[in-house]
A and B are shown apart, each in its own frame.
Chain A
Amino acid sequence: MQGYTERIQEAARRLLVDKQVDVVIGFRKGTVPLMNEPFLAKNVDQVRQLYWDGNCGMNLANYLPKRTDRIGIVAKGCDSRNIVIHLLEYQIKREQLYILGAPCRGMIDRRRILASLEGKDPSSAEEKDGVIKVVGSDFEVTLDRQEYLQENCSICIHRNPVIFDELLGEPVPEQQNVDRYPDVNQVEAMSPEQRWVYFENLTKTCIRCYACRNACPLCFCPTCFVDESRPQWIGKSIDPTDTRTFHFLRAYHVAGRCTDCGSCERSCPVGIKMRQFTKKMEKDIKELYGYEAGVIADQRPPLDTYRPDDPQQFIK
């Protein structure tokens, strides 16, 4: 995957020199190991900062809504699906975009790696041939990359970009026979009261920093319902009722739109598994409407269109 770095830099340089785009959105190396940060290269001098490896988990589609310039953007499978959703929701025009598709083998879960180090501090990490070499001042460990994928990546079935203008590498084989919902099935089997306790515990540590919302490409409302004060839909405290309302509502807002890119969980400073909410929505939409968000570019999402055969057993 690191091979993409050169390809990205080459493409970015070409696009910027030819004045085909005004900015290239990609990643640059972060200041700590196992963390890369989104980066907007606006001129040729900045191109050499563009970088790619297994720590590019954030969803770059988040930087597109309402931009007016021409944009080159590096897109993994999930990013590309979110780009499709932006197009469907009129957040950006296709003519503005030059998509550099990045077939993806999954992104690394930094938290699990750090946990496996049992408190030791890594100073650098490098990926090669399916292993991650993590080095600190007094240790060196080699980890199997496949074992340390982000949870959403290990069950991903759309690793290759669904739209692109140019591919950065050969398409990767898609994962077959993936059971995407064992955890959701488990929660569904609980009684309402058990479920209540489960969700209560899930969001208990939330500090309401809204990092999940900010990292989410779907959250582009000019004023989010949590920030609105007239009317004030939801209290701003960390009272469990407010926290719970935030998480439940956020999940409903992304129903039929969420691509399970995992940016919310990745960005959460306290490690809340909020994909437990969004995955249930995703599963329902798939079962009720046979729809997967952002996979087909010209199909309206089920919740913004009406079909006579829409399921409606719940209406009496």
Chain B
Amino acid sequence: MEPGRLHFSWISSAEATKFAETARAVVKMVKAVGPSQHFLKKQAEVV
């Protein structure tokens, strides 16, 4: 997987601001990486 697509964070239920900030940051970073090219299953490839 490309770096920047997977993020981990520890946020308490009391930390609403941190949650919102993290969510925005993650969305921004994943958008920057672009649509995933892997782990897509379009149609069963029968060989």
Q: Residue B15 at the A interface, CB < 8 A?
A: no
A237-B44, A239-B45 known; A316+B22 contact, CB < 8 A: yes
A316 to B21, CA, bound (A): 12
Q: Are A241 and B9 in contact (CB under 8 A)?
A: no
Q: Residue B1 at the A interface, CB < 8 A?
A: yes
Q: Are B41 and A241 in contact (CB under 8 A)?
A: yes
Residues of B within 8 A of A239 (CB): 41, 44-45
In this complex, how many residues of chain B approach chain A with their Cβ under 8 Å: the count is 15
Q: Are A192 and B1 in contact (CB under 8 A)?
A: yes
Question: Which residues A230-278 have CB closer than 8 A to chain B?
Answer: 235, 237-242, 244-245
Q: Are B22 and A192 in contact (CB under 8 A)?
A: no
- Taking the closest CB of chain B, its distance from the CB of A306, in whole angstroms, is 13
A253 to B11, CA, bound (A): 26
Residues of B within 8 A of A244 (CB): 39
Residues of A within 8 A of B39 (CB): 241, 244-245
Task: Give A237's nearest chain B residue, CB to CB.
Answer: B44
A196 to B2, CA, bound (A): 10
- Sample 15 A-B pairs with CB under 8 A, ordered by A number: A192-B2, A196-B38, A235-B44, A237-B44, A238-B47, A241-B39, A241-B41, A245-B39, A314-B8, A315-B9, A315-B10, A316-B7, A316-B8, A316-B9, A316-B22
